[in-house]
Amino acid sequence: MLALLPLLFLVGIHMYKYFTEKELECKHCEEQGIDPAFMQKVDELRDKMGFAFPITSAYRCPDHPIEARKKAAGAHASGRAVDIAVRGKQAHRLLQGALEAGFTGIGVSQKGGVRFIHLDDLPNSEGRPRPHVWSY
Ligand SMILES: [Zn+2]
C-alpha cells in the first residue's frame, strides 16, 4: 500500500488538464464533490475551445447558501455542473461546443456584470427537464 501512495498522489494532482481540484470544490466548505466523468467532458471541451474557462462555481454541497434556499438541491449539488465566466464571441462559441458535446443543461447569464454559462449533463427527471436551456 505504501508503494502506491506516490502514484495516487500523482493521479490526484493530474486529474484534469485545465482545472485544479481547488477551483472545483464547494466554496462554502471546501468539500470535493465534482463528478470526474462530467469534469472530463468539460476538460475536453476546454481543450477544443482553446480559451480559458474561469470557473465561478462547480460543486456545491447541499448546505451551500445557494443550494440551501432551494426546495431541492440543484444541479451543482450533483457534482455535474459548472458555471464558466465567458461573454461575447467566446460565449457564442461555448454554446455551440456545449451542444455538440452533448451537455443537456445550459443556463445563460449574459447581462450586466455577472456573465457566465452554466453547463451540466444531467438526465431528464421530474422537476428537472433535460435537455433544457434557461436564462437567469
Ligand atoms: Zn459546502
Distance 35 CA to ligand 1 centre (A): 15
Distance 89 CA to ligand 1 centre (A): 33
Q: Name the residue range of residue 53's domain.
A: 25-135
Instruction: State the pLDDT at residue 2.
Output: 59
Asked if the structure places residue 10 within a domain, the reply is no
Tens digits of pLDDT across the chain (136 residues): 556 666 655 555 568 999 999 999 999 999 999 999 999 999 999 999 999 999 999 999 999 999 999 998 899 999 999 999 999 999 999 999 999 999 999 999 999 999 999 999 999 998 899 999 999 9
Residues flanking ion ligand 1, Cβ below 5 Å: 26, 28-29, 61, 64
Chain centroid, CA 21 distance in Å: 12
Distance 28 CA to ligand 1 centre (A): 4
Q: What is the pTM of this model?
A: 0.89
Asked if the structure places residue 71 within a domain, the reply is yes
Domain count of the fold of the chain: 1
Long-range contacts: 63-71, Cβ < 8 Å, 24+? 63/28, 63/29, 64/26, 64/27, 64/28, 64/29, 65/28
Instruction: State the pLDDT at residue 3.
Output: 66
Q: What is the CATH number of the domain that holds 111?
A: 3.30.1380.10
Are 107 and 118 in contact, with CB atoms under 8 Å apart? Answer: yes
- Provide the 3-class DSSP secondary structure of residue 66: helix
Distance 29 CA to ligand 1 centre (A): 4
